[in-house]
Amino acid sequence: MQSRDAIRYVLEKGDSCFTEYIGRNGGHQDIIIGSECAEEYVVAHETGHALGFWHTHQRPDRDRHISINWKNVMEEATASFMPFRSMLQAFGIRQVSPRRIPYDYGSLMHYHAVAHAVKVSDFTIVPKELKYVTTMGTEKMAFLDAKVINDIYCPNACQGRHHLNCLAGGYPDPNNCNVCRCPEGLGGADCSRLQPSPCGGEIHASDQWQTLSSPQGRDVHCYWRISVPDGSRVRFRLSDGEFPCSYGCQSYVEIKHKLDVRLTGFRSCCYRPKEDTVSESNQIFVIYHPNGRTARFSLRFRRQA
């Protein structure tokens, strides 16, 4: 065991949780877990660093997607908000090669909107698309997070084996090369079908406004696909909703309306957009996870030519 590369979790008293290195450095790498921050998502976040992830909000292209409210960032946390090219150069490191993946507000490695805030009544991170404000800070690994890890650590796991044509950005599962790993909301052998659930389904939007309402129950998990013919778009608005409020949204309705369905959709639990949104393709995915809480939503939608 001592001769192998491995992550070692070290429990200590205090409020510090951090990893020694970003990425595999050889041998044992310690992740320090303080007793006051020993939450599952914190451990997962620090494990992401050890596996090679920088913060999403520190990407070189982050200014296209977010703004930093520097006046509200605690001074001791400034380094965690700097674009990582600037930070690395400050430490004398000249080059870095980020993988070319789209910016995902729902990445496990993205801070929430009031992270390290001087005043928690004001944001430190403001998304350019405000509807994503409670998507940031999720406590679960996103589809693209897992895909990048598999690309780095298991690139040849399915090479030369049963060929799968995984659609919608899915990929062969390194643990079972006979099936695809699909973005949430999609399923089937090749990711072309809706992810099965007991309370969702396929809905075809008409030219008239229709309403989708959440089913009863705290432990349901539902997936809907609302579609229109090719060449048309889906116009929609969350007309009602009630969820426990938290940044990162532990209980939420999520709507995927982007062309790239690998991306986390915008999650609504505190903030509900007041304006209509139009899909980038001829379909949207609606994902409902109350996660044991009392919750509800209503979504109005129709076809837009």
Domain total of the chain: 2
In a domain, 234, yes or no: yes
In a domain, 235, yes or no: yes
DSSP state of 150: H
Residue-wise pLDDT tens digits, 189-225: 899 999 999 999 999 999 999 999 999 888 899 999 9
pLDDT score recorded for residue 268: 95
Between 6-10, 82-86, 157-161, 190-194, the lowest mean confidence (pLDDT) is in 82-86
Annotated catalytic residue 46: yes
In a domain, 21, yes or no: yes
The Cβ-side half-sphere exposure at 285, using a 13 Å CA radius, reads: 26
In a domain, 78, yes or no: no
Chain centroid to Cα 69, Å, comes to 22
- Whether the per-residue pLDDT at 97 is higher than 80: the answer is no
Buried b (16+ CB within 10 A) or exposed e, 147-172: bbbbeeeeeeebeeeeebebbbbbbb
Confidence of residue 269 (pLDDT cuts 50, 70, 90): very high
Mean pLDDT over the full length of the chain = 90
pLDDT score recorded for residue 164: 85
**Among 46, 129, 139, 280, which one carries the catalytic annotation?**
46
In a domain, 120, yes or no: no
In a domain, 88, yes or no: no
In a domain, 171, yes or no: no
In a domain, 164, yes or no: no
Annotated binding site: 45, 49, 55
- Any idea what the Cα angle at residue 169 is, between residues 258 and 97, rounded to 5°? 95
- Residue range of the domain that includes 273: 201-304
Out of 52, 68, 89, pick the residue that ends a domain.
52
Annotated binding site for Zn(2+): 45, 49, 55
CATH of the domain at 255: 2.60.120.290
3-state secondary structure of 54: coil
Single pTM value for the model: 0.90
